[in-house]
Amino acid sequence: MDRRTFLRVAAAGAALPVLASCGAARSGVIRFEGWDYEAQLVQQNVDLFTSRNPGVEVDYTPITSAQFIRKLTAEFLGGAGPDVLYMYDDSLAGSVEAEYLRPLDDIPGVAEVYDAIYPTNAAAMVYGGKRYGLPYYTDMQALVYNEAILEKAGISAPPRTLDELEHQALRIKDAGILPFPIGLPAQLADTAALWTWAMVYANGQDLFDERLAPVMSAPGSATVGVFEWLTRVTRQSAVLDPACVQTLPIPMDNAVMAGQYAFVFAPRYALRSYNDPAKSTVAGAIRLAPVPSLDGTTEGTVSSTRMYCLGRDSTRSPEVSDGAVRLLHHFGGLDANGVPATARFWFLERGLGFPFPQLAQDPEVLATLETFADPAMYSRLAETARARTVTAAPWYAEFETALQRTTQQVIIGATGPAEAAAGLDAETRLLAERYA
């Protein structure tokens, strides 16, 4: 029994109690699952699809984002995985290696979609030379700041370096404006802690070299520099909210909209809600800025790709296969006029970044962008963003868990910056050896 089979059998035994109450899938019904972001809007889009495809029934189930991959794993191991599903670029390699997903290369129209999107997004949906997804959205991490709070503290411009970020936060704290001006989503989650990657990328560095060997503890490592900064803002200046190790992105978003933070690291699309008067008490005051670097001489950030995929069992009948493929194209493809209608919908409704260059010329898209963000800064972040090539490694998901756990330990003072980076390098080498 090889390692993968062993893990699958072991996990199946652990998953049986969870699956006992799931029930059997209804014959001919398309099972669609995604994380729970804007579930009502997703259902609205599903209803639009079924109205245009009489006879196709879709059962949509939203799952809490922090538990999404674990829930999918339990379902696939129990033989009840979805036919159409969301997927993180972070989790694609592991899901393919576990044989949960169906390749899309033989499906008509898929190649045309890949030709219509940014190459970075296309590459993020390919594993082992095969295409596995159609795009949901893409975005980049930014420093997000409350301009009104900065002005109240006498600060005229956002920080360019991490030292400046700490000093500005301390100035806000000393003025009695906020007890903890900086917020981060640092709770352990299935998804990547993209703010960590963005802070390293801002320095023109990476956590891995071109051969995917870890370099986090190398001389002059930005990873060590970022960990040293996290140590200072928690143990010395105390301007980072200590509750961050228990905070996920959505609760952090709510705190920003309530005016509880002056600075957070978040994706660009968050500004659509942050500056929405119907949702936010600080609407109109939230701005984007580049992610601060260690010395202010470099600029960069990280991009992500979220996608729609087909589950391995979506071929269980011709009826299900046809409906699943049509639903996949409805979500991630082009309509009869060559327009990525769902991607356009998500930007207009919630500001989700689009992977289709053609939408950058859409007058309604441009007009909508101007209502919540500075278009020049929005584009600047995209121009300096890089994808994580290491997501192609089958051990990436396990590394990400280790990275989040180690970052938490740095924040709470359980380990030092250099020791943390060295430990991550060593753990990554062991992972690579086990998967070799």
Cβ atoms of 41 and 13 closer than 8 Å: no
**Tokens representing residue 15 in the block:** 């998953």
Residue type, 116: A
Domain closes at, from 371, 386, 401: 386
31 falls within a domain: yes
The per-residue pLDDT for 9 is 36
The per-residue pLDDT for 13 is 37
Q: Which pTM value belongs to this model?
A: 0.86
In tens, the pLDDT along 88-113 reads: 998 999 899 999 999 999 999 999 99
**Tokens representing residue 131 in the block:** 């295409």
- Whether residue 73 is found in the same domain as residue 143: no
Burial 180-200 (b: 16+ CB within 10 A, else e): bbbbbbbbebbbbbbbbbbbb
Residue type, 301: T
DSSP conformation letters of 247-314? --HHHHHHHHHTT--SEEEEETTHHHHHT-TTT-TTTT-EEEEPPPBSSSS---EEEEEEEEEEBGGG
10 falls within a domain: no
- Whether residue 161 is found in the same domain as residue 286: yes
3 falls within a domain: no
Q: Domain of 160: which CATH number?
A: 3.40.190.10
Pairing relationship of beta strands 130-131 and 126-127 according to DSSP bridges: antiparallel
Cβ atoms of 98 and 2 closer than 8 Å: no
Which residue segment(s) compose the domain that 175 sits in?
139-302+387-435
354 falls within a domain: yes
- Whether residue 111 is found in the same domain as residue 240: no
- Rounded to an integer, what distance in angstroms lies between the CA atom of residue 338 and that of residue 425? 46
6 falls within a domain: no
Looking at every residue in the chain, the average pLDDT score rounds to 92
- Whether residue 104 is found in the same domain as residue 227: no
- Whether residue 399 is found in the same domain as residue 428: yes
Residue type, 350: R
| Domains contained in the chain, number | 2
- Rounded to an integer, what distance in angstroms lies between the CA atom of residue 155 and that of residue 56? 57
Closest CA to 292 of 141, 405, 418: 141
Cβ atoms of 74 and 20 closer than 8 Å: no
- Whether residue 286 is found in the same domain as residue 413: yes
Domain closes at, from 386, 404, 420: 386
The per-residue pLDDT for 339 is 97
- Whether residue 59 is found in the same domain as residue 47: yes
- Whether residue 358 is found in the same domain as residue 408: no
Cβ atoms of 387 and 120 closer than 8 Å: yes
- Whether residue 278 is found in the same domain as residue 167: yes
The per-residue pLDDT for 25 is 53
In tens, the pLDDT along 153-182 reads: 999 999 999 999 999 999 999 999 999 999
In tens, the pLDDT along 144-154 reads: 999 999 999 99
- Whether residue 238 is found in the same domain as residue 279: yes
- Whether residue 121 is found in the same domain as residue 208: no
Domain closes at, from 386, 402, 422: 386
315 falls within a domain: yes
In tens, the pLDDT along 236-284 reads: 999 999 999 999 898 999 999 999 999 999 999 999 999 999 999 999 9
Model confidence band, residue 84 (pLDDT cutoffs 50, 70, 90): very high
Lowest mean pLDDT among 15-19, 219-223, 376-380, 387-391: 15-19
- Whether residue 239 is found in the same domain as residue 143: yes
Lowest mean pLDDT among 118-122, 131-135, 150-154, 425-429: 118-122
317 falls within a domain: yes
- Rounded to an integer, what distance in angstroms lies between the CA atom of residue 376 and that of residue 381? 9
pLDDT of 316 strictly over 50: yes
12 falls within a domain: no
